[in-house]
Structure 1
Amino acid sequence: MLGLCLGLAGSLWAFVPTDNFTLAWQHTIEKIRWEEDYRILPKGLVLTKARVKGTGAGMEIPDNAVFSDGSWHYQPTLPIIPKLRLGRTPEAGDYDICFDQAGQVKCQAMALWVGIPDKQTAAVEIWGCEHTPL
Structure 2
Amino acid sequence: MSICLMVGASLLALSDRSFTLDWQHSVEKTRWRESWQVTADGLHLTEAAVKGSGAGMEPGEGAHLQGGWWVWAPDLDPLPNLSLATSGATGAGWHLCSGEICHDIPETGATVVLRPCTEEEWRKGSGP
TM bracket, shorter-chain basis: 0.7 to 0.9
Find 2:55's aligned residue among 37, 54, 57: 57
Structure with bigger strand share is: 1
Q: Which moved more, 1:84-93 or 1:71-80?
A: 84-93
For the aligned residues, what is the CA RMSD?
Answer: 1.6
CA distance in 2, matches of 1:50, 1:30: 17
Please name the residue that 1:16 is paired with: 13
In structure 1, the gaps of 5 or more residues are: 112-116
Mapping for residues 1-134 of structure 1, pairs under 5 Å: 1-7=2-8, 12-18=9-15, 19-92=17-90, 93-100=92-99, 105-111=100-106, 117-119=107-109, 122-130=110-118, 131-132=122-123, 133-134=126-127
Alignment coverage as a number of residue pairs:
119
Q: Could you tell me how far 1:110 is from its partner in structure 2?
A: 1.0
TM-score by length of 1: 0.80
- Cα deviation digits, residues 46-85 of structure 1 (max 9, x gap): 0001111110111111230010111011000110100111
**8 Å Cα contact 1:55/1:61 also seen in 2:** yes
In structure 2, the gaps of 5 or more residues are: none
TM-score by length of 2: 0.83
**Are the structure 2 counterparts of residues 59 and 91 from structure 1 closer, same or farther at C-alpha, using a change threshold of 3 Å?**
closer
CA distance in 1, matches of 2:39, 2:84: 19
